[in-house]
Amino acid sequence: MSRVFDSLRLSAVSLDIAAVNRGGARAVADRQRRRLERVVAAALRDSRLYRRLVANHAPGGLASDAALAALPVTHRAQLMAEFDDWVTDPRLRRSALAAFMAEPANIAVPYDGRYIVWESSGTSGQPGLFVQDAECMAVYDALESLRRSAPRPISRWMDPWYLAERMAFVGAIGGHFASIVSLQRLCALNPWMGGATRSFSVLEPTARLVDALNTWNPTVLATYPTAAALLADEAAAGRLRVRPREVWTGGETLSPGMRRHVEQQLGCNVRNSYGASEFLAMGWECAHGQLHLNADWVILEPVDEQYQPVPPGAASASVLLTHLANTVQPLIRYDLGDQIMLSDQPCRCGSPLPVIQVRGRDDEPLVLRGRHGEPVTLLPMALTTVLEEEAGVFDFQLAQRDDHSLTLRLPLSGEAADAAFARCRSALAAFAASQGLRGLPIHEERAVTLARGHSGKVCRVLGGAVSGMATAAGAGPGARVQAEAPCTHAD
């Protein structure tokens, strides 16, 4: 079965990445310009939605050398509402893709034999659906394999595809999410990698997850920062006995305190990355700990609340993403919602790619009291996955009330709220039981206007300072780290 793989395109992109590193900032700018022209031309030629948006934004038309700022800002809700007019392949239909993705057996299976598809979380109340062709996936593959930082450069030079490693991914694995879709696709393409890679659900009870990881004994662990911090707690308590050489984190904000905690307790290098469902491999962390933007393939514009440019060194209210590799589902000046800060100083590593700081998803782990008084940590990614996948609710806020109960806030009222709360209670009760909690009282708040950032996104899981529980949780990254990273935009 085809896995949407173009070896020639992968080779060409890989050679181009090497050339960029030698060519400096000018080489990056030249590639940005050429690729932007290609993407805009494809959108105006083949996307009915983009033709309308541009015509409404610039009734007189665009000049052939029009700057990116001359194009309209786009939003997820707007694009998803007109999905069939947005995509450039008329054979792609949102209803058919949704039906395809409703089947777990289709995870990483190419749609129509030519597209890789995945879904995103609904942090703005609107889940996303994203489509990539072979050319786009070749760009992702090359960026992931060639620009991921190598704390052991000699080993990576000898083994760039990590074939000698035992890899473990801990995350949301039951849906068509970008991470698990990408991982399963790569394992299908490379049987050696498939034999050395295991996926573990973030929904597993901590004790069961720890036992499984001890059995697998990975040398490379990929997961979310909050999950890595929880596993570091388990290592500190002597329950997790693995000693990975590398931990890769992404999907949430990694604070300095969380990084130190993971490195100290697991005795390894932590390497952070920046990506999103919209663009899988936006940034990589170099050996100097700086996050570099893959600016030859993606443009990020830091902007304020009025979508005006923010200068280097200043934090943005949001960021506009322009995808330079995807012509099937054009993303041009797309409001991603993250806060970033662009540096005007080059990195000591010598890379021509710009350095950025990112503030993305900052949902918080919840520490509750278990059946026998022991602390039980509920990870934010697990909670949001349960409510999205099991209850079908995307626009919510779940807050810790005390050491045994939560408050669930929904913007719904009437019968719609009744049905949604019933689904949420059922899903959360089942999850709580699997985690060792004796019930999980849920206090309802209806018709709530959820506090949102400029991007329209909301912090969906809020922890609480519960007396005695942080110490019981073994150094408590959920309490210590969150003080360094208050909740702002969610990715």
Q: What is the model's pLDDT at position 1?
A: 43
Q: What is the model's pLDDT at position 41?
A: 94
* DSSP-assigned letters across all residues of 183-198: HHHHHHH-HHHHHTEE
Quote the tokens at residue 490.
């969610």
Tens place of pLDDT for every residue, the chain, 491 residues? 457 889 999 999 999 998 998 888 999 999 999 999 999 999 999 999 999 999 988 877 776 566 899 999 999 999 999 999 999 999 999 999 999 999 999 999 999 999 999 998 766 557 899 999 999 999 999 999 888 755 544 454 455 556 678 999 999 998 999 999 999 999 999 888 888 999 999 999 999 999 999 999 999 999 999 999 999 999 999 999 999 999 999 988 888 888 999 999 999 999 999 999 999 999 989 988 899 999 999 999 999 999 999 999 999 999 999 999 999 999 999 999 899 999 989 899 999 999 999 976 678 899 999 988 899 999 999 999 999 999 999 889 999 999 999 999 999 999 999 999 999 999 999 999 999 998 899 999 999 888 765 545 678 898 865 444 443 333 343 333 332 333 333 33
Is the entire prediction scored with pTM above 0.75? Answer: yes
Q: What is the model's pLDDT at position 340?
A: 94
> Based on the number of CB atoms within 10 Å of its own CB, is 226 exposed (0-12), middle (13-18) or buried (19 or more)?
buried
Residue (of 293, 296, 291, 272) closest to 282 by Cα position: 293
